[in-house]
Amino acid sequence: MNHSIEYPVIVFLGPPGSGKGTLAQKLAQHLSFLHLSTGDLLRTYAKKDTLEAQELREVLKEGKLASFELFSKILVQRLKEADCQSGVILDGFPRTLEQCSFLDQLVADPLKMMFINVSLPFEVILKRLMGRRQCSQCSQVYHIDFSPPSSENTCDDCFSPLYIREDDRQEVILNRLNVFKNTSSPILEFYKNRPFWIDFSSAESPQKCFELLVDKIAEIAPEEWTHHLLTCSKETL
């Protein structure tokens, strides 16, 4: 395969519900990168009226991983689009060693990749996922206690109705956490010597977490990325 990605890529790793999407979305706005949630990408694909989409719906509902064949096809298509070209934040990929090798084929230069490894105790994760609401249109994420919308069940950004994800039922959450437990150690081992790596606890409030993360990124950001950070004023945090 051609090494096709020339733009910078930030990779969020971490368990379900650790706040990857919340942080990635704010960071993407801040840096003018694209936030690419592979979960959102697959949920959108699963709405199609095809047998393949129907099978994917079942996989997502149970909290299992989509097949590599289908997943890689959808991802490669998306990464070619014009809105990716200034940089992409990957949220939810890679999740297996096979996907790690695939990412390395896509992005040949390790200096173009930054990894943010988010962590949170599992009991906090449960509370966060049980209260999550998501916009049915723009995928904006809320929490009924920690980041509620201004008007109940309505998205602040696009005014569409909010919904509860099918995989946010307690038994599916436990299944997803199990999948994560069984797959995450080899991934950390695979990436452990990469030049730009941040271990990050998301135990603070969403805003505080974001500010702490931006500071950490600024400390280690590759030189050619710093203009993105410098052009963002603190008021946008």
Which listed option, ligand AP5, Mg ion, none, makes contact with residue 117 (CB within 5 to 8 Å by class)? none
Give the nearer residue to ligand AP5 in terms of CB position, either 196 or 210: 210
Give the nearer residue to ligand AP5 in terms of CB position, either 21 or 87: 21
- Shortest Cβ 83–ligand AP5 spacing (Å): 19
Report if residue 21 touches Mg ion, rule: CB under 5 A. yes
x/- mask, Mg ion, residues 25-54, rule CB under 5 A, reads ------------------------------
Which listed option, Mg ion, ligand AP5, none, makes contact with residue 148 (CB within 5 to 8 Å by class)? none
Member of 44, 57, 59, 104 binding ligand AP5 (CB under 6 A): 59
Residues 128-167 that bind ligand AP5 (CB under 6 A): 128-129, 131-132, 141-143, 146-147, 167
Residue with CB nearest ligand AP5?
39
| Three-class DSSP labels, the chain | CCCCCCCCEEEEECCCCCCHHHHHHHHHHHHCCEEEEHHHHHHHHCCCCCHHHHHHHHHHHHCCCCCHHHHHHHHHHHHCCHHHCCCEEEECCCCCHHHHHHHHHHCCCHHHEEEEEEECCHHHHHHHHHCEEEECCCCCEEECCCECCCCCCECCCCCCEEECCHHHCHHHHHHHHHHHHHHHHHHHHHHCCCCCEEEEECCCCHHHHHHHHHHHHHHHCCHHHHHHHHCCCHHHC
x/- mask, ligand AP5, residues 74-113, rule CB under 6 A, reads ------------------xx-x---x--------------
Backbone φ, ψ for residue 156 (5° rounding): -65, -30
Member of 11, 18, 107, 162 binding ligand AP5 (CB under 6 A): 18
Q: Are 17 and 39 in contact (CB under 8 A)?
A: no
Binding site for ligand AP5 (CB under 6 A): 16-22, 37-39, 42, 59-60, 63-66, 71, 92-93, 95, 99, 128-129, 131-132, 141-143, 146-147, 167, 176, 202, 204-206, 209
